[in-house]
Amino acid sequence: MRDSHLQDFYTFLRFPSISTDDAYSEKLGECAHWLVEKLNGIGLEAQRVSTPGHPVVWAKNKHQPGRKTVMLYGHYDVQPPDPLELWDSPPFEPVLKNGYVYARGATDNKGQILAHILGIQEVMAEHGDLPVNLHLIIEGEEEIGSNNLPGFLKEHRAALKCDVAIVSDTGMIARGVPTLSYGLRGVTACEVKVTGAKMDLHSGVFGGAVANSVTALARLLATLHDENGRVAIDGFYDDVKPLEEWEREAWRKLPIDGDKEILAETGAPALFGEKGFSTLERLWARPTAEINGIGGGYQGKGTKTVIASHAMAKLTFRLVPNQDGDAILKLARKHLEKHRPPGVTMEITDGHSGPWYLTDPHSTFGRAAQHALKEAFKAEVALIREGGSIPIVSQFRDILGVETLLLGLALPNCRAHSPNENFPLENLEAGIKMNKAILQEVGAGGP
Report the residue number, 315 or 373, with the smaller CB distance to its own copies.
315
Report the residue number, 121 or 170, with the smaller CB distance to its own copies.
170
Give least dist CB 179 to its own copies, A: 14
> Which of 65, 66, 83, 204 is close enough to bind its own copies by CB under 8 A?
204
Touching its own copies, residues 362-401 (CB under 8 A): 386-389
Report the residue number, 43 or 183, with the smaller CB distance to its own copies.
183
- Using the contact rule CB under 8 A, the part of the chain among 38-46, 181-189, 323-331, 393-401 near its own copies is 181-189
335 touches its own copies (CB under 8 A)? no
Give least dist CB 232 to its own copies, A: 11
> Which of 160, 177, 180, 313 is close enough to bind its own copies by CB under 8 A?
313
203 touches its own copies (CB under 8 A)? yes
Report the residue number, 37 or 257, with the smaller CB distance to its own copies.
257
Query: Could you tell me which of 171, 326, 153, 362 has the C-alpha nearest to residue 370?
Result: 362
**What kind and span of H or E run contains 121?**
helix 112-127
Touching its own copies, residues 140-179 (CB under 8 A): none
318 touches its own copies (CB under 8 A)? yes
292 touches its own copies (CB under 8 A)? yes
DSSP designation for 225: B
Q: Helix H segments across 343-424?
A: 364-377, 391-395
Rounded to an integer, what distance in angstroms lies between the CA atom of residue 398 and that of residue 126?
A: 36
Give least dist CB 177 to its own copies, A: 17
3-state secondary structure of 24: helix
Q: How many residues sit in the footprint of its own copies (CB under 8 A)?
A: 80
1 touches its own copies (CB under 8 A)? no
Report the residue number, 217 or 407, with the smaller CB distance to its own copies.
217
Give the chain's end-to-end CA distance (angstroms, integer).
Answer: 28
> Which of 43, 53, 105, 296 is close enough to bind its own copies by CB under 8 A?
296
Report the residue number, 80 or 446, with the smaller CB distance to its own copies.
80
Report the residue number, 71 or 217, with the smaller CB distance to its own copies.
217
In terms of C-beta density within 10 A (0-12 exposed, 13-18 middle, 19 or more buried), how is residue 343 classed?
A: middle
125 touches its own copies (CB under 8 A)? no
In terms of C-beta density within 10 A (0-12 exposed, 13-18 middle, 19 or more buried), how is residue 301 classed?
A: exposed
Touching its own copies, residues 211-270 (CB under 8 A): 211-212, 214-215, 217-219, 221-222, 224-225, 227, 229, 262, 266-270
Rounded to an integer, what distance in angstroms lies between the CA atom of residue 308 and that of residue 331?
A: 28
Touching its own copies, residues 398-427 (CB under 8 A): 417
> Which of 197, 332, 372, 410 is close enough to bind its own copies by CB under 8 A?
197
438's CB contacts (< 8 A; 6+ apart) are: 166, 368, 369, 372, 405, 407
Q: b/e string for 164-174 if b means 16 or more Cβ within 10 A? A: bbbbbbbbbbb
Rounded to an integer, what distance in angstroms lies between the CA atom of residue 161 and that of residue 151?
A: 15
290 touches its own copies (CB under 8 A)? yes
Under a CB-based contact definition with an 8 Å cutoff, are residues 425 and 94 in contact?
no
Give least dist CB 210 to its own copies, A: 4
Q: Beta strand pairing status for 382-386 and 179-184?
A: parallel
Under a CB-based contact definition with an 8 Å cutoff, are residues 186 and 357 in contact?
yes
